[in-house]
Amino acid sequence: MREETGDIAWKKVLLVGVDTGEEKDFERSMEELKNLAQAACKEVAGIITQRLLTVNRVLYIGSGKAVEVKDFAGECKAEEVIFDNALSPSQVRNLTDILELPVLDRTNLILDIFALRAQTREAKLQVEMAKLEYMLPRLVGLHEALSRQGGASGSMSSKGTGEKKLELDRRKIEHRISELKKELELVERSRQTQRKRRKDSQIPQVALVGYTNAGKSTILNRMVEKYGECPQKTVMEKDMLFATLETSVRSIDVDGRPFLLADTVGFIHKLPHGLVKAFRSTLEEVRNADLLVQVVDFSDENYKQQIEVTQKTLRELEAGDIPQILVYNKVDKCRLETELPQIRGDQIYISAKGNRGIEELAEMIQSRVYADNQDCRFLIPYDKGAVVSSLMENTSVLEREYTERGILLHVNCSRQERAKYESYAL
């Protein structure tokens, strides 16, 4: 089904995949490629697959299959051909020559989706840099073909016009990548300042992570509506791949114990390394979290593989050792005769869209991030107003009493906060 995409013209595409037996679920990978194509405003006109022991280094597919793809593309009037795996620059060039159509691979397709979805300045800069870094080696791959165009007869230069143009294009791209890195460094400094401020506040940080379209934004919105400082500060939630590219952080307060909840970019099978690299600064919210809440689409029959993909990506981000809660979402779509929510240790089964299990999830998060907290009593002299202000802001105040010797505060606080004001403890 087509999504609402405004004035964007949809292109007919032909999907091609090679099954070497290495893929755990090849059919699932091709189905996901189809969904990605639709998310990039492309209409799938047909799918062709081939079983090979190993991919063809020249064409990725066999030479006979390449002719079949060309003929079928003509029959179904495809405007592009998309391959399920990453293609080398030479494979793209060779396939383009034979098919006489634009050739994309899975990486290029995901980059196109990110380009369509990017809204903020930071996301646009990150996507542009990832696309240019993807293009650069492919420009170099075209070097031989371009140089064969040759220069003028009798020219003193040994370089052809194609090669000269290639070098100019390469320099332009390298210069633009350098500019983008500088711009992103400025944005990153601002992010670091925000992160430092949040860390200094001693408020626990929690990040929603998981496969794209698992329901992370829906969970954030239900939390904000019930426990947020500004219930109207929700984020966009939509049933589509990569609806969210920006990291959004909201303050959630459950029974006087606040935590910061971050909605992050979704993961996917074969997520391009360039995108992980480009969005690393955005994903720092994941690495700095005290707790990760992994959201899983339980209604997807391949949810176990999605968990594996998420865990692998977290390890790439050096966040694999952070404590986690596993949230099985969309359970209501499975037609199971079970009451929601269900809690089993660090796992909870919910329906975020149906608003079933949000309270229990919030309590689970609160209990985990405040597990090491202690009830403490501090007697603060009246001339130490800054200490009182700090405790009032960074701890959960259970009781306050004004005595002859000073202000008696009964608070629930972290071990760090207790150690910081140990001299005032009773």
Q: Which residues are annotated as part of the binding site for Mg(2+)?
A: 217, 244
**Residue ranges at the known binding site for GTP:** 210-217, 263-266, 329-332, 351-353
Q: What are phi and psi of 152, to 5 degrees?
A: -70, 145
Token digits for 185? 């460094």
What residues contact residue 274 under an 8 Å CB cut-off, 6+ apart?
107, 111, 130, 133, 134
**Residue ranges at the known binding site:** 210-217, 244, 263-266, 329-332, 351-353
Q: Tell me the C-alpha to C-alpha distance, in Å, between residue 6 and each of 2, 9, 80, 116, 286.
A: 11, 9, 21, 11, 33
Token digits for 196? 């430092």
d(CA 286, CA 314): 8
Token digits for 407? 């202000």
Region for 345 from its dihedrals, namely left if φ exceeds 0, alpha if ψ lies in -120 to 50, beta otherwise: left
What single letter denotes the amino acid at residue 42? K
d(CA 84, CA 64): 19
Token digits for 424? 């005032």
